[in-house]
Structure 1
Amino acid sequence: MYSHMMVGANDIDRAKTFYDALFGAVGGKPGIVDPKGRLIYMHNGGMFLVTKPIDGADATPGNGMTIGFAMTSPAECDAWHAAGLSAGGKAIEDPPGVREGAGMKLYLAYLRDPDGNKLCALHRM
């Protein structure tokens, strides 16, 4: 259903430092910068982009929006979370761990990127 996800950033260099660390922790390659100045990450068949808003206004996080990234294990979620924290992200919600409900058991880790976008690492147990 989805082709890609894109978030806004006010400082592309700061965003690149954060997302290079975040995706690098789970085997991804550093982002590439296209001719329009957008960051592009491709990993495990997905594409994630970071850009300054095209309308010239400041980037702001979407209220109620969360971008979830599929992980292969709880350890991968933890590595992702630790890398994000060390690269300028902020821990939010409960600490990384197992959540159960609606007949599902998930391992979740939440962060906000330096621009406030809400991110989640998810492993289905």
Structure 2
Amino acid sequence: MFSHVMVGSNDIHASQAFYDATLGALGAGAGRSDPMGRIFYINDGGLFMVTMPIDGAPACHANGGTIGFRAASQAAADAWHAAGLANGGTECEDPPGVREGAFGKLYLAYLRDPAGNKLCAMYRVPA
């Protein structure tokens, strides 16, 4: 459904350290930069990018927006969360844990990245 997700950053180095750690905990390799200074992560056919805003205005996060990353297990979601906290991320929402709803049981872990973007690592708990 999606070709890519891109978020803005006012500090590309802090964002790369954060995403290298958090996405690395989910199995992605370190980010690679292009000549424009954007950072790219490729994993399981998905493309995630971080950039300084092209228009020169400050980056800001989406109010109400969340970017979800698939985790292979509860342990992977916890490792993602811990890596994020250790690399400039901040807690938001409830602590990592199982939530039950219309889509069954989901193990969810939430963070905000150094630029304030709301992120989630999600593991679908088998029925």
TM-score by length of 2: 0.96
2:108 aligned partner, one-letter code? L
Deviation at 1:45, TM superposition (A): 1.3
| Matches of 1:100 and 1:27, distance apart in 2 | 26
Structure-2 residue corresponding to 1:6? 6
| Matches of 2:88 and 2:12, distance apart in 1 | 13
Deviation at 1:100, TM superposition (A): 0.5
| Matches of 1:45 and 1:102, distance apart in 2 | 27
1:26 aligned partner, one-letter code? L
Please say if 1:98 is aligned against 2:98.
Answer: yes
Please say if 1:25 is aligned against 2:6.
Answer: no
Mapping of residues 1-125 of structure 1, within 5 Å:
1-102=1-102, 104-125=104-125
| Matches of 1:25 and 1:7, distance apart in 2 | 19
- 2:26 touches 2:72 (CA, 8 Å); kept in 1? no
Which has the larger displacement, 20-29 or 52-61?
Answer: 20-29
- The total of aligned residue pairs comes to 125
Identity %: 62
- 2:98 touches 2:106 (CA, 8 Å); kept in 1? yes
| Matches of 1:28 and 1:88, distance apart in 2 | 19
Deviation at 1:103, TM superposition (A): 5.1
State the Cα deviation string for residues 58-103 of structure 1 (Å, max 9, x = none).
0000111100001111111000000000001001111000000125
Q: CA RMSD in A?
A: 0.8
